[in-house]
Chain A
Amino acid sequence: MNPIWGPVAGGFIIAMMLVFIGIWVWAWLPRHQRAFNALASLPMEDDDAAAIALDDKP
């Protein structure tokens, strides 16, 4: 294998680690908090159907 691949692979791993850390930072940015809180509750809008089967039939 050409020895150039060692530094290339190492550089790629570091770049990917930085991207991953970047995703954490992006997700925790305070400016997203309001939107994310609203999104976390979005499925609850469809609440009628979350009612359990109350009219039980034999």
Chain B
Amino acid sequence: MTAIETYDDRVVRLFLFASAVWGIIGMLVGMYLAAELAWPFWNLDVPFLAFSKLRPDHTFGVIFAFGGSALIGTCFYVVQRTGHTRLALPRLAEFTFWGWQLICVLAMVTMPLGMTQSKEYAEPEWFVDILIAVVWVSFGAVFFATLARRRIRHIYVANWYYSAFIIAVGLLHIINNIAIPVSMTKSYPIYSGAVDAMVQWWYGHNAVAFFLTAGFLGMMYYFVPRQAQQPLWSYRFSIVNFWALISTYMWAGSHHLMYTALPDWVQSVGMAFSLVLLMPSLGSAANGLFTFNGSWHRLKEDPAAKFMVLALVFYAAATFEGSLMAVKTVNSLSHYTDWTIAHVHSGSLGWVAMITIGSLYAMAPRALGRPAMYSRKGMELHFWLHLTGTLFYVIAMWTAGVIEGTMWRATNPDGALTHSFLDSLIAIKPLYMVRWFGGVLIWLGMWVMAWNLWYTAADARKPIISPIPVPIPDPEPRQTPAPLPVQG
């Protein structure tokens, strides 16, 4: 009997469901925080429910728990398919899954209790940071070991993005979190003053670059051509965009620190690189959208494709807006206002969440041994809930941001401020309520996805699904290097 090698999708399935669960939890916290901002009594005078204590749970929950689980899961799925090989080091892959879940639980329990470094998007204390480093190295080992045993010579472009995501996030995490522990629950960073701020925003900006952009572009470059059923519009262009993106993003972090104690020339470098960044960002968005050329009819019948196309539109819009906001004159109006919140959420809800949801809907049936998702109507409902919620959210926050910016800079002829801070808060209060409503719609959509995935996974839960065979070409005579042995 001829041995058959099959794809190892067990860990992929675990990450798929973890992602759905963390999506609900992370967005629930976000929705609750939005309610607290509109109606402050919702903090209920409970210390760990205060906005400041709970906010890191929202950001960690949606970025690292929801987004991270989706990224690692799709990465393990894609690297097998684009290399025609089975996942290497399956035990380490399993360790990566349980380790990542432990990290998410630990971080989200300790942060509201006050165990925090107070570094945005890097709040967890030293003991969680060490765990993150260990699990991240394990993730990288599984990915690169699988890549090393691929049967296709060239490394598919999605894997280049996933590689950059793994290497850069590991580097950023370790450098930004170098600290001296002074007790089991408290540490102090080795950096101080303006250097601390620069290191923090070199990390913070590149977390956006390599976690929320490069990682999800990896997802996009695989799942968009697959769902469009069209070859990638320009493979060559994707290579140029890759190198341009990773080499410019690294230098743009200082645009988060305009008009601060940072040297002026460092701020200008951040602004200049942010403008250059427009080209690779729009290049990738165009490559994804043009891939749908000739396949636009799929949008009528396939909600997963709809999620992907809207994700690319939001990606183009949010990156254009980001470059614009990095211009010093625009930044003087937008910074510290809710415009920043609108920008972040048009990127995270529009681009990141939509490409993730589209990719999960595309991947789930295959990984769960079904011909299609359980309910197309459920997918359709989710699409409209998510899109409407996102539009409510970002339009409300754009409006609030411009109101705040213009009110804060208005002065009387004698130079005194025209409006007090409280005036601006009262002016935007109705928009905070609209933001909360948008959040509710998005959160309900996540429940619809979880319900749909649960029923799609009926066979996988029993478990009665058959593993998918790896397509292995017949060896050529005297093939060099020798073909890889088949792994059961």
* Interface set of A (CB-CB < 8 Å, partner B): 16, 20, 23-24, 27-28, 32, 35-37, 39-58
Contacts and interface: CB of A to CB of B under 8 A. Distances in A.
A56 B240 contact: no
Contacts of B229: 44, 47, 50
B226 A47 contact: yes
B239 A27 contact: yes
11 contacts: A27-B237, A32-B236, A39-B156, A45-B81, A47-B226, A47-B229, A51-B365, A51-B371, A56-B375, A56-B377, A58-B375
A24 B235 contact: no
A5 B431 CA distance: 51
Contacts of A47: 226, 229
A27 B231 contact: no
Contacts of A53: 365, 372-376, 379
Interface string B360-393: 0011011000011111110100000000000000
B82 A42 contact: yes
B232 interface: yes
B99 interface: no
Nearest to B379: A53
Contacts of B375: 53, 56-58
Given A53-B373, A55-B371, A57-B374, 11 more contacts: A27-B240, A37-B231, A39-B152, A39-B232, A39-B235, A40-B231, A43-B81, A53-B375, A54-B371, A57-B455, A58-B375
Contacts of B240: 23-24, 27
A50 B222 CA distance: 12
Contacts of A49: 226, 362-363, 365-366
Given A23-B243, A53-B379, A43 B225 contact: yes
Contacts of A46: 81, 226, 366
B343 to A, nearest CB: 28
A47 B304 CA distance: 14
Contacts of B222: 43
